[in-house]
Structure 1
Amino acid sequence: MTHTIPLLHPLDDHGRLPRLILDETSRLPQDVRDAAAALAAAAAKPQLSPAAAIAPYCHPHFVRAEPAAFGRATFYFRAFTGYESRPEMPREAWDNPALTWEQKRELDSQYSVAESLWSQGRLRIQAAPVLRRAVPLWQAWQTAQNALRETFEAFRHTRDGMWRAQLLRLTEAERSALAAATAWDAVAEELSLLAAEQRRYGGEEHELDLATVAKELGLDASGWSIHWPEDYAPRASSWQHETPTVRALTAGIEQQRERLTEVARLAGDSQTI
């Protein structure tokens, strides 16, 4: 059976009861005296602050945390290069019974932010060479696309006797555009996958846009056509795999040919286009 006794006298500077009180408690049952001694020892024992308690488990790049609105915190870290290992809260922290749930939750939030910052640094490393390789491929695709458009528009000013020659130019422009679109989609898929990986680790709240990374490298990627990774995957409903840019180009080519076929039919030309 446990007993609780109120302390009618304050502890002295060393966390001990005054001598008079000790003499009085010596006549109490042993378990009561033990409880009083434990209480005095607990009062004298220095308590770790919440920050000191979790300090051994903080990420090496962690600098400090500051209170923010709605009971949240703002975490500050030294810059991540992206070469570090993926930040993960130590299992020992989760298993430590001395840490409160609030302290573990704060550590979890800290590591979540660290992982987001690390993922951004990692994207910068991985995307840089791909972005540089993508620049001439995007320019080649734009050039080929414009050439195809201009070749088709030239039919409006082509004499009847020159249509076959112009058709030859059109098919050559189509092939060039198809090759450029295929090359662009290949590098665009690489970038799309890298961006998706960064979102998976960092979360949409901390997404780093590829155009921002390109700008940091002195490149302009603001007009680039990069789709979601799923758009580059083969479609189960189609026997022919076409990536987004190739698919759009093929649809445009078919529209052009339908237009030429319609004109040929109206002109009474039996030649198949």
Structure 2
Amino acid sequence: MHTIPLLHPLDDHGRLPRPVPAEAFVPQPVPAADVSRYHHPHFLRTEPTDFGAVRTCFRPFSGHEARPEMPLAAWEDPELTRQQKQELDRQYDAARTLWSQKRLRLRAAPVMRRAAPLWQAWKDAEAGLRRVFAEFWSTPDGMWRAQLLKLTDAERAALAAARAWDEVAEELSLLAAEHRREVGEDEDLPLETVAQELGLDASDWEISWPDEYKAGPYSWDSRTPMVRRIDAEAKRQRERLAEIARLAPTLT
């Protein structure tokens, strides 16, 4: 008698069991790793928006917190999927935007309160310089020397106001530039918006890029923007007065 070893035991009826189709062996999904330990401390939840995107909600930032950075351990964690790491990265981007906006508000507020009267003083001084020069058209011939004294006084006042404004404008420009580097142009919080929240109207404030306030390594001109404007206006006025002096030297 010969026996044949069976790969599978017979069933209760002495028959071999039916083979199980290969498609019945479906691998069970691996449970996703818990990412909550990597969440930013201010993270609350994510929720869908009306446009199919996802909104990330945080507790309010004070602006005094450390810069939000996704933990290095999260990037190196082998249990996290690529998608989980990308979602965490987006979470920290959103946190960094809110933190930077709050930080800008916090740091710019006292500077803006100082800037408001300085901007008005600058506008008044510039207008005063133009007004004093325009008065030459109605100044009697024998009074031109006195009017020239008024003009030089107006130039000095305008230059002082220009320097004061450029100093505070440079502070605001540096704050805005630092914020823009943190969040990018799409999430940039305009200084005008910050001013509105403080009850200030900054719609006509002239604030240049930070480079405009410092002479570069190959630049000989160290003047700031408003000082350059006053110098240009004073030069134009003096050239006109010099022309009049040549034509009618007895007036001065």
Of 224, 236, 240 in structure 2, the residue corresponding to residue 259 of structure 1 is 240
User: Structure 1 pair 261/57, CA: closer, same or farther in 2 (3 Å)?
Assistant: same
- Residue deviations 1:155-208 (CA, integer Å, cap 9, x gap): 110111111110010000000000010011000000100011111112111111
CA distance in 2, matches of 1:199, 1:240: 27
Q: Secondary structure at the match of 1:63?
A: strand
Q: 2:211 matched to which residue of 1?
A: 230
**Alignment partners' CA distance in 1, 2:46 and 2:233:** 55
1:190 aligned partner, one-letter code: E
Q: Which residue of the other structure, out of 142, 149, 174, is the alignment partner of 2:123?
A: 142
SS in 2 for 1:82: coil
Among candidates 169, 185, 205, match of residue 188 of structure 1? 169
The alignment-based identity, stated in percent, is 57
In the aligned structure 2, how far is the partner of 1:218 from the partner of 1:245?
Answer: 25
The 2-side partners of 1:237 and 1:267 are apart by: 43
What letter matches 1:166 in structure 2?
Q
More off after superposition, 252-261 vs 65-74 = 65-74
Structure 2 unaligned segments of length 5 or more: list them. Answer: 1-6, 10-25
Find the counterpart in structure 2 of residue 128 from structure 1.
109
Q: Which residue of 2 aligns with 1:34?
A: none
Alpha-carbon distance in structure 2 between the residues aligned to 1:237 and 1:174? 29
Q: 1: distance between equivalents of 2:245 and 2:138? A: 15
The residue number in structure 2 matching 1:83 is 64
TM-score (normalizing by structure 1): 0.77
Q: Output the CA distance in 1 between the equivalents of 2:118 and 2:68.
A: 35
Query: CA offset at residue 140 of structure 1?
Result: 1.2
In the superposition, relative to structure 1, how do residues 164 and 262 fare at CA in structure 2: closer, same or farther (>3 Å)? same
The alignment of Structure 1 onto Structure 2 pairs a total of residues equal to 232
- Give, in angstroms, the shift of residue 120 of structure 1: 0.5
Instruction: Give distance in 1, aligned partners of 2:82 and 2:50.
Output: 20
Q: Does 1:161 align with 2:142?
A: yes
**1:57 maps to which of 8, 25, 38:** 38
Partner residue in 2 for 1:101:
82
Match of 1:198 in 2: 179
* Structure 1 residue 86, shift from structure 2 partner: 0.8
Instruction: Name which structure has the greater RCO, CA cutoff 8 Å, separation 6+.
Output: 2
The residue matched to 2:35 in structure 1 has which SS? Answer: helix
| Aligned-residue offset at 1:65 | 2.2
Quote the offset at 1:218 in angstroms: 1.3
Q: Distance in 2 between matches of 1:93 and 1:162?
A: 79
Q: Which has the higher helix share?
A: 1
SS of the equivalent of 2:44 reads strand
User: Structure 1 unaligned runs (5+)?
Assistant: 1-23, 27-42
CA RMSD of aligned residues (A): 2.7
Cross-structure match for 1:248: 229
In structure 2, the CA distance between the partners of 1:203 and 1:69, relative to structure 1 (3 Å rule), is farther
- Give the secondary structure class of the aligned counterpart of 2:170: helix
Give the one of 92, 111, 122 matched to 2:73.
92
